[in-house]
Structure 1
Amino acid sequence: MKTNKPLILITNDDGISAPGLRALISVMAELGEIVVVAPDAPQSAMGHAITTNSTLYLNKISLEGDSFTEYSCSGTPVDCVKLAVNEILKRKPDLCVSGVNHGSNSSINVIYSGTMSAAVEAGIEGIPAIGFSLLDYDWNANFEPIKTFIKKIVLEVLENGLPQGVVLNVNFPKLEEKDIKGIRICRQAKAFWAEKFDKRKTPQGRDYYWLAGEFINQDKGEDTDEWALENNYISVVPVQFDLTAHHAIQNLNTRNWNE
């Protein structure tokens, strides 16, 4: 049966059972025809990894009361998007949404994020895409306060599209809806992780390591995602997947590369 509703692909990196994914599904179900393809287990911090040296599996699943198609995938978030576009969907979706991630993907975190890499992969495929994250790492985080804003942002993108080669990185502060001041279009803050490793030994005497570290924000600008989140705004950063440093081309062309 034909429908005028937009076709929306939904994915994430926290896994098919994550409450953040369920929250996103509940909002998207009001707006269009939805198909869910998500990892069968958590895939956080996988970045843009794809599966090349092992097999991929898709399992069609049905949860009680579902009115949509849902698949779990043995691969990464990017694998989920690739399989959805090439094997599952009969046409290109009108939108891809990823999340809602349990935890921040602001600033430098976008580089490591499986949530955002899924959105970027959709963008590469020519699909308008948005990654959503909530600054709450608790598995039982409350996603109700942000649903109205998710709907607002998605409707804006469905109606007006996105600039070519751009996807959106949306981060929500952990607040009640009434305490969120609004939405701000931002740039990515200049920040980094100062990593350190907690070195331990197994009972057999073999060294092993746990990654730890401290997040350091060096950016004092008031137009950044970190500033927005610290001041109770939703941050929306337009992200491009063309990694060319265009500003450096002129400088590099002044050098004698061929001598």
Structure 2
Amino acid sequence: MSKPLILVTNDDSIVAPGIRTLISVMKEIGDVIVVAPDSPQSAMGHAITINNTLHIDKVNLDPDLEHEYSCSGTPVDCVKMAVREILKRKPDLCVSGINHGSNSSINVIYSGTMSAAVEAGIEGIPAIGFSHVDYGWHTDFEPIKKYVKKIALEVLHNKLPEGVVLNVNFPKAEKTIQGIKVCRQAKAMWMEQFDKRTNPQGKEYYWLSGEFVNQDKGQDTDEWALENGFISVVPVQFDLTAHHAIQIVNNWDL
């Protein structure tokens, strides 16, 4: 039997340790093609490039890989370019990450990592976004590699429901992994503020900062799982229709 074709991408750039770890795991499973940003694209969400040109360069960061490309665009651009210009057939799986930093709860909305996975899902490709709560560039990914492989193999074997991708987050490195929990997204948000400053030329500018606030005390959420040492797996749908609200709005005088 032929090996599965696996597309690997991320938002931290093609040289990030997270994606290099993900590539090493996926090579154990199938034939790997990498298309990833040439520079960090964190918090780009589902942005696409429409007013600038896009560039694709073949690179040789891994001597075992024949097809590895850096892209000047966003994570979603990378998936679109892979599907439309590089791949000869639709991949059997798309994996995005491993992101340096959490994409649990509301962070899924802002995440370039997850948006790449969602774009693959829109194309009908089973997809997973992997993220690690630790933001450090030199985070030790070794302990989670077996779980990355296990989850990827399960998706390949079982497929995913139509319109669904997986958002997988790993707890902090100092926590002993207790297992895997399938969760719901916690109700949480960023309490943001803008730090107003002045540059040496006297021009004012702003620096975004904020505090993440978890308002959800449920024990079935991704935030609870991560806090208690579990790997959180949240099935995410990209149909944003609020079906429960359709009848409510239909009752308005429209």
TM-score, normalised to structure 1, is 0.96
Pick from 36, 47, 71 the counterpart of residue 49 of structure 1.
Answer: 47
Q: Aligned partners of 2:32 and 2:66: how far apart in 1?
A: 6
* Residue identity in the other structure for 1:196: Q
* Residue identity in the other structure for 2:108: V
Tell me, yes or no, if the aligned pair for 1:108 and 1:192 is still in contact at 8 Å. Answer: yes
Which residue does the alignment assign to 1:255?
252
Q: Aligned partners of 1:237 and 1:63: how far apart in 2?
A: 32
Q: For residues 253 and 162 of structure 1, do their structure 2 counterparts lie closer, same or farther at Cα, with a shift above 3 Å needed?
A: same
Dislocated runs of 4+, deviation >4 Å: none
Q: Aligned partners of 2:187 and 2:122: how far apart in 1?
A: 25
Instruction: Give per-residue Cα distances to partners, 1:181-234, cap 9 Å, x unaligned.
Output: 100000000000000011110111110111001101000000000000001000
Tell me, yes or no, if the aligned pair for 2:134 and 2:173 is still in contact at 8 Å. Answer: no
CA apart distance, 1:67: 3.0
CA apart distance, 1:68: 3.4
Q: Aligned partners of 2:36 and 2:182: how far apart in 1?
A: 28
Which residue does the alignment assign to 1:174?
172
Q: Aligned partners of 1:201 and 1:252: how far apart in 2?
A: 46
Matched, 1:230 2:227: yes
Pick from 170, 184, 188 the counterpart of residue 185 of structure 2.
Answer: 188
Which residue does the alignment assign to 1:73?
71
> Which aligned pairs between 1:91-106 and structure 2 lie closer than 5 A?
91-106=89-104
Gaps of 5+ in 1: none
* Residue identity in the other structure for 1:71: Y
Q: Aligned partners of 1:12 and 1:191: how far apart in 2?
A: 24
Matched, 1:241 2:238: yes
CA apart distance, 1:16: 0.7
Q: Aligned partners of 1:67 and 1:166: how far apart in 2?
A: 29
Pick from 217, 220, 227 the counterpart of residue 217 of structure 2.
Answer: 220
Q: Aligned partners of 1:68 and 1:95: how far apart in 2?
A: 18
Pick from 158, 161, 164 the counterpart of residue 160 of structure 1.
Answer: 158
Q: Aligned partners of 2:173 and 2:54: how far apart in 1?
A: 38
> Which aligned pairs between 1:90-169 and structure 2 lie closer than 5 A?
90-169=88-167
TM-score, normalised to structure 2, is 0.98
Q: Aligned partners of 1:136 and 1:28: how far apart in 2?
A: 21
Which residue does the alignment assign to 2:4?
6
Q: For residues 208 and 254 of structure 1, do their structure 2 counterparts lie closer, same or farther at Cα, with a shift above 3 Å needed?
A: same
Q: Aligned partners of 2:3 and 2:165: how far apart in 1?
A: 21
Which residue does the alignment assign to 1:25?
23
CA apart distance, 1:64: 5.1
* Residue identity in the other structure for 1:26: S
Instruction: Give per-residue Cα distances to partners, 1:106-163, cap 9 Å, x unaligned.
Output: 0000000000000000000000000000011111111001000000000000000001
Tell me, yes or no, if the aligned pair for 1:199 and 1:210 is still in contact at 8 Å. Answer: yes
Q: Aligned partners of 2:105 and 2:26: how far apart in 1?
A: 26
Q: Aligned partners of 1:66 and 1:161: how far apart in 2?
A: 27
* Residue identity in the other structure for 2:97: G
Instruction: Give per-residue Cα distances to partners, 1:38-65, cap 9 Å, x unaligned.
Output: 0000000000000000000000011253
